[in-house]
Chains A and B, each alone.
Chain A
Amino acid sequence: MRSFETGLSRLRRRLTAAGAALLLAGPVFASDHDGSSHELLPTNGASRSIIIRGPYVQLATSHSIYVVWRTDKRIQPVVRYGDNPGNLDRVVAPQDVITRVSLGTNRAERLRVIEQWPEVAHFPVLHSAYAGTWQYEARISGLQPESTYYYAVCDGETRLTGRDPSYRFKTHPPPGKSAPVRMWIVGDSGTGRENQSLVHDAMLKHTARDGRPIDLYLHLGDMAYNKGKDVEFQSRFFEMYEPTLRNVVCWPTMGNHEGSTSKGTTGIGPYYDAYVVPARGEAGGVPSGTEAYYAFDYGRVHFICLDSHDLDRKPTGAMAQWLKLDLERTKADWILAFFHHPPYTKGSHDSDRETQLVQMRTHIMPILESHGVDVVLTGHSHIYERSMLMDGAYATPTIAENVILDDGDGDPNGDGPYQKSAGLHPNQGTIQVVAGHGGTRNSRKGTMPVMRKIIVEHGSVIIDIEGDTLTGFMLNKFAEVRDTFSLVKRGHITPRRILNPWQPPDWKPPRSPGGEEPAAEVPEDFIDVIPRHAEWHYLAGSDPEGLKWTEPDFDAKDWKVGIAGFGYGMKGVRTELTDMQGNFSRIYLRREFEIEHADYIAEIGMRIFYDDGFVAYLNGKEVARKSMGKGHGKDARDIRSHPGDKLEYVPLKDFEKHLKSGRNVLAIEGHNSSKDSSDFLLDPDLIIED
């Protein structure tokens, strides 16, 4: 049984919800203009089609933008727009909308779709969605720069989107004009979980607080765990960021997780279905000829997106050659580059060890720095790391000596902003930002010596550029600013390399006072092996001899059977241990479970409420111990008080050695800190990563 809501089920739920919303949406679009209230029939005479993705905006320039959406049936795609939400007086007609349709993944599906709509055999293909999914990409052109427009997506005359001024977009400034820009930068977020949502909410809260919304959104990859499938994009990207995506363009770069199902060499896959990016230099960069890497301008800021995942990263490769051409041609004041794999990190990944990261540092960074790039934004490593002003750190392992140009903190209210000469100059310094902390599990392996700030919290980055000043903030999921850095490009600066720069202190993995590992996070996708509130055999009021009771061949027929959780005096108790308080402080649980292919399992763990401590055994071997010292059973020592009010995830250590294909046994001994304690709880389940 799957205990989480799958992308598919969410999609189905959303289809139902959207359909209901549509019926409630009321009058047809025609009433906007002439006051009539006639109800128009759906295009195909069948049930009215509904939007199943978007609408969202893509590929903005100073004079154009794309509005993209999906439906589950064919419609007459029309976008109405105007500069007043009450008067959408301009139209993108169906013939100006690119229509793509999914023919499915097998012959039967393909035939079914083509039989229904014969002409679609010649339509551009939507490679990865469910058969019969329609995607519409409407290019709105002839717009004024720096102007806000409102829009509605329609099926012929029938309005499909709500009468909501949030369906709006703002065009970019004219090329070459200096204009303030605020961007939101997120990496490795695509879990569909609470942390991702909190990070998004924090950005909305922060921008509302200072009255300055974002102009664009850069995603640094891994936006749709676990494999970048279409349903994962739906539930873990489009649904999570829907309010933002409808009026702000997300400019993406592909992560390794999207790379499981999308390929840079072919430009095919859910990632490439989802986005419209400027492969032909439509937005200000040199034409790349591929959607895998591209460039665009926002006023006097030039953005470069690279594919660090599955294309040739060597200087002789097409991507590096394009990068050089693009950097030679741009006449912007600022250059920001973004890609997935960080050249410098000791977060969940190590840039001194991994090929993609080493190659981005040794092959790509020299090109970027020699052409004056100011900031490099990356993800992949699940952490926030922000460097000092640096240049020329191409060695492996990375060292800080002689590559730091300013070892201050870059904070305008601290050591002061970093400084470079006005305009673009080679090798005057780059700030590296690793922002792979957008939603998934964070971790840290060590200390990257060029970093000034290293923070293991969920969050995102906001960067403002106005005139000659760039200011960046790391915003955690509670909307607290956890790092501020600034770069001023003014006058003439002569960079100097620092022989012995400030370096971050050494770091060791944190341990709790009891020597326990830090809390782990539940895998994005999992399957219940022992569900919540399952029946367990349990022994209460006495102690079994030794550890024989933890082994698979132990016969527990004399034990009682109860439903988890076990305890007293706490919410969540289902098997009440009425005689425990004042009489005994330990109970013992056993439960069998089946695993089909033990060698396929990547991770197995318990989600557990516990008050106060426990030891878990898998097939007789200890695999987890929390809130207690050494020993087991009646010999267990140092039981520490632990509130059982929070569900914690505890991976089973070294499970690979003990888990078997077929029958297995999980055994748990639960301990109260004292017999007289006012409460006790032991409420576990068991999950495997899917």
Chain B
Amino acid sequence: MALVLTARAPAHDSPEALVNRYSALMAAHGVTPLLLAKRAEEYAVLGELDKAAADWEQLLQLQPRSLNALTELSKVRLESGRLTEAMSSVNQALALPAHPEEQAPLYLIRAHIHRARGDLTNALADCERFFVHPVPDVDAFILRSQLQLRLQQWEAALVGLREGWERTGSAVLETHWIEALVDAGRPAEALAQIERRLPETRWQSSWLLRRARARLR
């Protein structure tokens, strides 16, 4: 999964100490959305995703329309493989009124959920919705192209990867574009690019494999 759980709140103490502190605060003063959110983030840092999810769920009982809690819960459930529940929470989040730029990341989460469920068509549709608003990062370009390639949308994948490469300069997107040329049945163009890159490379094994693949095509 290319999504990353939200970064922890800033603190100097270890996550274990913070979990203990937030638990003690809640024991002494009662449960609050802020403390639940902070503890959920620390549980996520510790990889205790079930506990993180439980805190986000409890927070949502207090604040059912918390966009942040629904977003984070969706990511935690996705990371845990709880796909049906993840879909439920991300759909709840998308139903909330929000600025399009706030909604865009939710489409990316839903795209990952669809992909994990094998629903590539809807995954790609959500990925395209994500691309409407934010400045996409390299990971998002890769995800979209992978979905397009698996759906045999060769030309769209090539165009998207080329656009991403030109926009960002990312060598990873360039490499995916070259691989996509092979997948799209244009090995000669791919070979030209591979031959251009091979001499620049110290350890050539991955480029030699690409070349072999292009030659076999």
Report if A and B associate in a common complex. Answer: yes
**Which residues of the other chain, B, contact A602 by a CB distance below 8 angstroms?**
11, 21
Q: Is A322 an interface residue (CB 8 A)?
A: yes
Interface string of B23-42 (1 = CB under 8 A from A): 01111111010110000000
Smallest CB-CB separation from B108: which chain A residue?
Answer: A265
CB distance from B113 to the nearest CB of A (A): 16
Smallest CB-CB separation from B2: which chain A residue?
Answer: A312
**Which residues of the other chain, B, contact A371 by a CB distance below 8 angstroms?**
203
Interface stretch among A94-102, A105-113, A255-263? A255-263
Residues 249-282 of A at the B interface (beta carbon under 8 Å)? 256-257, 259-260, 264-267, 279-281
CB < 8 Å neighbour of B171 from A281, A599, A661: A281
Indicate if the CB atoms of A316 and B2 lie closer than 8 Å.
yes
Indicate if the CB atoms of B175 and A266 lie closer than 8 Å.
no
CB < 8 Å neighbour of B15 from A225, A309, A354: A354
Smallest CB-CB separation from B203: which chain A residue?
Answer: A328
Smallest CB-CB separation from A357: which chain B residue?
Answer: B45
Indicate if the CB atoms of B202 and A328 lie closer than 8 Å.
yes
Indicate if the CB atoms of A279 and B35 lie closer than 8 Å.
no
**Which residues of the other chain, B, contact A312 by a CB distance below 8 angstroms?**
1-4, 139
Indicate if the CB atoms of A260 and B45 lie closer than 8 Å.
no
**Which residues of the other chain, A, contact B3 by a CB distance below 8 angstroms?**
312
Q: Is B134 an interface residue (CB 8 A)?
A: yes
Q: In this complex, which of B5, B171, B175 has the most chain A Cβ atoms within 10 angstroms of its Cβ? A: B171
**What's the Cα separation between A290 and B45 when bound, in Å?**
24
CB distance from B207 to the nearest CB of A (A): 8
**What's the Cα separation between A330 and B203 when bound, in Å?**
9
Interface string of A311-328 (1 = CB under 8 A from B): 111101110011011111
**What's the Cα separation between A289 and B141 when bound, in Å?**
11
Indicate if the CB atoms of A287 and B202 lie closer than 8 Å.
no
**What's the Cα separation between A331 and B168 when bound, in Å?**
24
Indicate if the CB atoms of B24 and A656 lie closer than 8 Å.
yes
Q: Is A75 an interface residue (CB 8 A)?
A: no
Q: Is A329 an interface residue (CB 8 A)?
A: yes
| Other 18 A-B pairs with CB < 8 A, given A289-B168, A290-B168, A350-B16 | A256-B10, A267-B137, A281-B169, A288-B170, A289-B138, A309-B7, A312-B1, A312-B2, A313-B4, A322-B172, A324-B206, A328-B205, A331-B202, A355-B45, A445-B14, A599-B29, A657-B28, A661-B29
**What's the Cα separation between A436 and B46 when bound, in Å?**
20
Indicate if the CB atoms of B12 and A382 lie closer than 8 Å.
yes
**Which residues of the other chain, B, contact A656 by a CB distance below 8 angstroms?**
21, 24-25, 27-29
Known: A353-B16, A661-B29. A266 touches B10 (CB 8 A): no
Interface string of A210-229 (1 = CB under 8 A from B): 00000000000000011100
Q: Is B9 an interface residue (CB 8 A)?
A: yes
Indicate if the CB atoms of B171 and A288 lie closer than 8 Å.
yes
Q: Is A356 an interface residue (CB 8 A)?
A: yes
Q: Is A564 an interface residue (CB 8 A)?
A: no
Q: In this complex, which of B13, B26, B35, B202 has the most chain A Cβ atoms within 10 angstroms of its Cβ? A: B202
**What's the Cα separation between A264 and B139 when bound, in Å?**
11
CB distance from A191 to the nearest CB of B (A): 10
Q: Is B135 an interface residue (CB 8 A)?
A: yes
Indicate if the CB atoms of A657 and B16 lie closer than 8 Å.
no
Q: Is A424 an interface residue (CB 8 A)?
A: yes
**Which residues of the other chain, B, contact A227 by a CB distance below 8 angstroms?**
10
Q: Is B90 an interface residue (CB 8 A)?
A: no
Interface residues on B, range: 35 or more
**What's the Cα separation between A602 and B45 when bound, in Å?**
18
CB < 8 Å neighbour of A356 from B1, B11, B32, B45: B45
Known: A321-B172, A358-B47. A599 touches B30 (CB 8 A): yes
Indicate if the CB atoms of A599 and B203 lie closer than 8 Å.
no
Residues of B within 8 A of A (CB): 1-5, 7-16, 21, 24-30, 32, 34-35, 44-47, 134-135, 137-139, 142, 164-165, 168-173, 175, 200-207
**What's the Cα separation between A600 and B208 when bound, in Å?**
58
CB < 8 Å neighbour of A325 from B8, B26, B169, B172: B172
**What's the Cα separation between A460 and B13 when bound, in Å?**
21
**What's the Cα separation between A658 and B24 when bound, in Å?**
10
Indicate if the CB atoms of A310 and B7 lie closer than 8 Å.
yes
Known: A310-B4, A331-B202. A599 touches B35 (CB 8 A): yes
**What's the Cα separation between A671 and B34 when bound, in Å?**
40
**What's the Cα separation between A126 and B170 when bound, in Å?**
23
**What's the Cα separation between A354 and B173 when bound, in Å?**
30
Indicate if the CB atoms of B169 and A598 lie closer than 8 Å.
no
CB < 8 Å neighbour of B24 from A286, A321, A424, A657: A657
**Which residues of the other chain, B, contact A590 by a CB distance below 8 angstroms?**
none
**Which residues of the other chain, A, contact B207 by a CB distance below 8 angstroms?**
328
**Which residues of the other chain, B, contact A280 by a CB distance below 8 angstroms?**
169
CB distance from B145 to the nearest CB of A (A): 12
Indicate if the CB atoms of B170 and A289 lie closer than 8 Å.
yes
Indicate if the CB atoms of A354 and B45 lie closer than 8 Å.
yes
Smallest CB-CB separation from B175: which chain A residue?
Answer: A325
**Which residues of the other chain, B, contact A286 by a CB distance below 8 angstroms?**
171
Indicate if the CB atoms of B47 and A225 lie closer than 8 Å.
no
Known: A330-B202, A657-B24. A265 touches B170 (CB 8 A): no
Smallest CB-CB separation from B137: which chain A residue?
Answer: A265
**What's the Cα separation between A601 and B47 when bound, in Å?**
25
Q: In the A-B complex, list the 8 residue pairs whose CB atoms are closest, starting with the nearest.
A: A289-B170, A289-B168, A656-B24, A280-B169, A318-B138, A287-B169, A599-B29, A286-B171
Indicate if the CB atoms of B173 and A289 lie closer than 8 Å.
yes
Known: A353-B46, A602-B21. A329 touches B11 (CB 8 A): no
**Which residues of the other chain, B, contact A281 by a CB distance below 8 angstroms?**
169, 171
Indicate if the CB atoms of A327 and B169 lie closer than 8 Å.
no
**Which residues of the other chain, A, contact B24 by a CB distance below 8 angstroms?**
654, 656-657
